[in-house]
Chains A and B, each alone.
Chain A
Amino acid sequence: MMGFAAGGLLALIAWLVWRATRRSTRRFRRVIGAILAGQQAYFVALVQPFMTSTDGVSNDALERGWLMLPEWVAERGFSRHFQLGYTFFVEKLAQVGDTLFTLHVLARRQPDAAAIQLLSPELLAYTDQVNTVFTVLQALILQTESAAVGEAALAQLADCLQALEEKFRHTLPVNLEWLEHARDNVCLVNFLYTLEDLYWQLRRLMQALA
């Protein structure tokens, strides 16, 4: 009788822990999905000013997204077993946010318009594919897509990045001496480097979900 009661109590505790974990997992996924959506909209919006040398975009939505970051995962008391995976996500999302702000700084500096015009087909293709990767990431977070779709999107993104880099190398003579004398072009090269940083960050997020 006592064994039955003890077993029942243990089962009840295990069920309550499981339910709390599942609830926090669902809450985490919803918040991460919303933040990714905000970052996606921001990225698409900021590439346009870069290409047309017009005004920048408002940071309001991205700031609000940042304030939604689930920092409670780093609080004491949150399950250590789950904490490492969750804090990895929060860290990587924060780095994607930093990268987007860096891209905005560079877009505001309005580099060489003629060079951007030459690169615009590849740049637009890359932007479209980043948009797709963000959409797939949100679907994977909410568990409405399979990992294979994510891998395909990433592979296409890598191809777009490679095409952009090859076009850039053929179009402009990128070497240190050229950049040190033509400092306006440092901004353009930095923009492409930062796009590559974004690719690697999205790739790590995607691989973590696969």
Chain B
Amino acid sequence: MLFRQLRRRRQLKQFYCALAALQRNIFACYLEEDYPEARHAYETRLRRAHHAVFAAMQVLRRIEGVVTHHSIINKLARLYEAVIALGQLRLRVSDRALFTVWRQELLAMTDVLGKIFQQRSCAPYVDMQSDLQALQYVKENLEDVYHGALRITAPEPLIFLFFIEDLTAVSDALTVLA
């Protein structure tokens, strides 16, 4: 029993570290200026980040055994799906100049998410209220910029609204885990 708990804790740490790397690679696709020219390299790094998350999930599934509806496996799956969904925007936006409008907010968002996942990797069961508040604050800044600029300048403002809702999904998934 203790051995299983230790294994689970270690694997949760690996999962959250992998998730931190995944979100970093996703946001790099929005923030790095050379993404259009070096797309293959970024996509390869992104796939490797996915690989690390799924490898950790598979080990966690073996440790947990039977998965019920309220099992931690489902909650973790919900979290990584929400993080992966944040990457859809890179496939929908052709004018990368639009990301410069959101640059500071996207940088803040990737910092906050990175901190949350790093903290969870060190202490998976710690209280997350202050982190969720920080996430909510950054999301509100993103929404303000969307309403102030992107809504008017972007040819398809809807896809940025979808991104904001995907951030809500990440926040909800973290709340469920908390």
**Do chains A and B stick together as partners?**
yes
Partner among A66, A90, A98, A104 whose Cβ is within 8 Å of the Cβ of B88 = A98
**In the docked arrangement, what's the CA distance between A60 and B80, Å?**
13
Taking the closest CB of chain A, its distance from the CB of B36, in whole angstroms, is: 15
Residue B7 at the A interface, CB < 8 A? no
Residue A176 at the B interface, CB < 8 A? yes
- Say whether B81 contacts A101, CB under 8 Å: yes
- Say whether B158 contacts A105, CB under 8 Å: no
Residue of A nearest to B147 (CB): A180
> At the interface, is chain A mostly helix, strand, loop or mixed?
helix
- Say whether B84 contacts A186, CB under 8 Å: no
| Residues on the B chain within 8 Å of A187, using CB | 165
Q: Which of B45-53, B93-101, B106-114, B127-135 has 4 or more CB atoms under 8 Å from chain A?
A: B45-53
Residue of A nearest to B53 (CB): A63
| Residues on the B chain within 8 Å of A26, using CB | none
- Say whether B57 contacts A63, CB under 8 Å: yes
- Say whether B58 contacts A67, CB under 8 Å: yes
| Residues on the A chain within 8 Å of B166, using CB | 102, 105
Interface residues on B, range: 35 or more
Q: Which chain B residues in 133-164 approach chain A with CB under 8 Å?
A: 151, 157-159, 161-162
- Say whether A179 contacts B85, CB under 8 Å: no
- Say whether B61 contacts A87, CB under 8 Å: no
- Say whether A102 contacts B43, CB under 8 Å: no
Residue A64 at the B interface, CB < 8 A? yes
Taking the closest CB of chain A, its distance from the CB of B91, in whole angstroms, is: 6
Q: Which chain A residues in 47-83 approach chain B with CB under 8 Å?
A: 55-56, 58-60, 63-64, 66-67, 69, 71, 74
A side interface size, CB within 8 A: 38
**In the docked arrangement, what's the CA distance between A81 and B154, Å?**
39
- Say whether A186 contacts B161, CB under 8 Å: yes
| Residues on the B chain within 8 Å of A60, using CB | 58, 61, 67
- Say whether A186 contacts B165, CB under 8 Å: yes
- Say whether B81 contacts A59, CB under 8 Å: yes
**In the docked arrangement, what's the CA distance between A108 and B43, Å?**
27
**In the docked arrangement, what's the CA distance between A90 and B161, Å?**
29
Residue B55 at the A interface, CB < 8 A? yes
**In the docked arrangement, what's the CA distance between A49 and B58, Å?**
23
Seen from chain A, the residues whose Cβ lies within 8 Å of a Cβ on chain B are: 55-56, 58-60, 63-64, 66-67, 69, 71, 74, 87, 90-91, 94-95, 97-99, 101-102, 104-106, 108-109, 176, 179-180, 183, 186-187, 189-190, 193-194, 197
25 contacts between A and B (CB under 8 A): A59-B57, A60-B61, A60-B67, A67-B54, A67-B58, A87-B44, A90-B47, A91-B43, A94-B43, A94-B47, A95-B91, A97-B50, A98-B87, A98-B88, A99-B88, A101-B80, A102-B81, A105-B169, A179-B158, A179-B161, A183-B165, A187-B165, A190-B165, A193-B158, A197-B88
3 cross-chain pairs, A with B, having the tightest CB-CB distances, nearest first = A63-B54, A102-B85, A190-B162
Seen from chain B, the residues whose Cβ lies within 8 Å of a Cβ on chain A are: 40, 43-44, 46-48, 50-51, 54-55, 57-58, 61, 67, 69, 74, 77-78, 80-82, 84-85, 87-88, 91-92, 151, 157-159, 161-162, 165-166, 169
